[in-house]
Structure 1
Amino acid sequence: MKILFIAPYPNEENSKDGMVQRVKHVDNIFSKYERGYLDVQHRKNFKGKTQIVDHLVKTYQLNSVVHMPAIHKILNTYDKIYVHSIAGLFYLLWILPFIDFKKIILDAHGIFPEELKFARSKKFIVFALIEKYVFSKLTRIICVTNAMRNHFIKKYPHTNSDNYFVYNILPSFNTEYISPEPLNSTDKINVIYSGNLQAWQNINLMLKVISSNDKPHIKYTILTGDVDGFKKELSRINLLHAEVLLASVKPQELPEYYSQAHYGFILRDDIDVNRVANPTKLIEYLSFGIIPIVKTPNIGDFMELGYEYISYLDFSEISQPKKSLNNQNIYKNLVKKMKNANLEGFVTNG
């Protein structure tokens, strides 16, 4: 069986991207299959590039207009078409009516039209129409949470639970973390943030919390791919010389920092986009017993799972460091659940 993934192929350059981490994880599951990766763009890839990575993997970087016949041929060459995010179908609009949807498996990743609407992008109308059309034909949809599956079932009542498969995003690095000995009041409170400066991260609110709690017994660590951007933000509020460590690290280096952290910022708004989400960052926090600092606790399935968190409004009341065995156990249970989840069977057999 040959499987075509509509996604960029995971490599060293894009490994920090949250979506690519899921692409890589899924790729590992299908490592024994012959696989293709199709990356189509409207305004790029005019020359086109096909690369044989190894005896099982081939990548295609093509333009949606210039290489239209080639794309059509590639789609027909593969037995299954695994689409990473509905955004990947935007560049295949012209061919959607001619695709055999029995071959297509959509890994939703998120609720993309709602994300665009929240960002006030006019493209949300286009993607809302694409989603409506695609969901009228799809028979296999992969969601990252039960909340996301319920969202789609409510939105598209003609679908049912048999059309869906819930598969959580898990960290790609080693999470074998051993809880430390009991801490005492002389230990510093280590607070971490892992991410960039996107609007939905509520960075201004996070920096306000840090500024209000710039105390000798609290150490802050910001791990980001945009170190210069964060330097500007910290300088703007006179925090550049406070005890804030800024660093850009590879995914496999994250455990070194997570193992020392007690609390972690994840300040999402209470909107549908976040209520159905399964942020990689939050899973990573839980795996190391980190207690999330939240704006709303209603993120994905985690309230239902009983995770331990603290509101940013109460953070100033924290006086001692603490790890959460409860959060670590939630993660371990998710790992067991995913080991028993037959994603391969859902994709290859339905």
Structure 2
Amino acid sequence: MLFLADFPDESRRHEGMSQRMIAIDSLCEQEHRTYLFVSYRLYWRMETRRISHNATQYRCNMFKHFFLISRLLRQADILYFHSVINVLPLLPFLCFIRKQSQVVLDAHGVVPEELLHTGKTMKGKLYQLAERSIFGRVNKVITVSDAMAVHFSRKYPRWDKSYLKYPILPSHISVADLSNIRELGDEQTHVLYSGNLQAWQNIDLMIRLIKNNRSAGIQYTIMTGQPVEMTARLAAEGIRVGDGIAVLTVSPNELQRYYRKAHYGFILRDDMLINRVACPTKLVEYLYYGIIPIVKSSKIGDFKEMGYEYVSCENLSDGLPARKSHINAELVSRYMAETTGLDFKKLIGRER
């Protein structure tokens, strides 16, 4: 069993893509498996890392380790590509995959469209080539949402094999229960943001919304790995930290303490394909804890079709009631149920 990916170390385990890899790996931890990561520029000296007693990671250079890479692909009965990101460096090797081998693409996202949107035209075209090439060989495509499957079916109408939705769920979420959304009897309304200052987070919009909707009845909590930069951005708009606004850096283990207390959470994504097919782990976390998202666009993944509760940023006011959403918590319970009892053989279409 060959996984085409760079299995995350401890420093990257919190990332969305890394959590996906860990979740998939947990489904087949009894199987012998190999992880292969290939670079055109790096790893002229091959790196080998033991992930577990029956899993090994190889980091190779495409030129120097050409024959090892081709042998690994030729020998594998099951090949599992984590995103077209890991298809591109292996394009010259796809011809070595045996016809009877099972090839699976875990899409993760719409990589070519993401790159083209950010102006990286050449990289976008290269990943478009990689995506088109793997769709010419793949047996099953795993998506994070039904919306993503619809996108691919429109993009590749001649590909007639099966899609399977397997949502991205944060690793610390196991069982949704009403204890996550118990009302704390707090007179204040708690609004939070969890994340950094990337452009797609629409931080300037969030700061304007905070500035225009401040009152003694609302406490804003911003949890970020960039507290200095966030504080400076707030100050530029005349907002002083400490006056109903807190900027914190918290460890992953502390997040649930703040999520349990929060009533609303900012997730200000634009209305575009990248977000319409996504399954953001932050949004799943918000819903799991009964938090009501404050959104710029409500069209994020499958959640609008599933009936999640949200507040549009145009309707935000300083009179937000302090309440949790049972609807959102129950929605995540249904979402989680879709993955319950799904083993790896079923996931890749190799049920016995």
Task: State the TM-score, normalized to the length of structure 1.
Answer: 0.91
Change (3 A) 1:129 1:54: closer
Q: Which of 182, 206, 231 lines up with 1:180 in the alignment?
A: 182
Whole-angstrom distance in 1 between the partners of 2:349 and 2:214: 53
- From the superposition, tell whether residues 93 and 231 of structure 1 become closer, same or farther in structure 2 (CA, over 3 Å): farther
1:106 paired with 2:105, answer: yes
- Separation in structure 1 between the aligned mates of residue 40 and residue 163 of structure 2, nearest angstrom: 30
Pairing 1:45-60 to 2, within 5 Å after superposition: 45-60=43-58
Show the 5 A alignment for 1:1-350: 3-100=1-98, 102-122=101-121, 123-160=123-160, 162-174=161-173, 175-176=176-177, 178=179, 179-181=181-183, 183=185, 187-242=187-242, 243-347=244-348, 349=350
CA distance in 2, matches of 1:78, 1:226: 43
Per-residue deviation, 1:29:
1.1
Cα gap change, 1:256 to 1:290, in 2 (>3 Å): same
Alpha carbons 2:73, 2:93 under 8 Å: kept = no
In structure 1, runs of 5+ residues without a counterpart are none
Write the distance in 1 (CA, Å) between the matches of 2:325 and 2:12.
31
Tell me the distance in 2 between the aligned counterparts of 1:342 and 1:211: 48
CA contact (8 A) 2:231 2:241 kept: no
Q: Which amino acid aligns with 1:247?
A: L
Please say if residues 42 and 63 of structure 1, whose CA atoms lie closer than 8 Å, have aligned partners that are also in contact: yes
Q: Is the 8 A contact 1:167 1:341 kept in 2?
A: no
Deviating beyond 4 angstroms after TM superposition, the runs of 4 or more aligned structure 1 residues are 174-177
Change (3 A) 1:172 1:349: same
d(CA) in 2 for partners of 1:278, 1:285: 12
* Deviation, structure 1 residue 340: 4.1
Q: Which amino acid letter does the alignment assign opposite residue 172 of structure 1?
A: S
Q: Decide whether aligned partners of structure 1 residues 92 and 247 sit closer, same or farther in structure 2, where only a CA change above 3 A counts.
A: farther
Aligned-pair Cα RMSD in Å: 2.1
Q: CA deviation at 1:201?
A: 1.5
Contact 1:177 1:259 in 2 (8 A): no
Alignment length (residue pairs) = 345
Letter in 2 for 1:195: G
Per-residue displacement from partner, 1:141-195 (whole Å, max 9, x unpaired)?
00011111111111111123x5211111112114545132474xx6221112222
In structure 2, distance between residues paired with 1:107 and 1:177: 32
Identity of aligned residues (%): 38
Cα pair distance change 1:208/1:349, threshold 3 Å: same
Q: Is the 8 A contact 1:288 1:328 kept in 2?
A: yes
Structure 2 CA distance for partners of 1:285 and 1:98, relative to 1, 3 Å: same
CA distance in 1 between partners of 2:113 and 2:304 (Å): 22
Amino acid at match of 2:46: G
Whole-angstrom CA distance in 1 between matches of 2:285 and 2:164? 22
* Residues 208/318 of structure 1: CA separation in 2 closer, same or farther (3 Å cut): same
C-alpha spacing 1:152/1:12, structure 2 compared with 1 (3 Å):
same
| TM-score, length-scaled by structure 2 | 0.90
Amino acid at match of 2:77: D
CA distance in structure 2 between the partners assigned to 1:78 and 1:341 by the alignment: 23
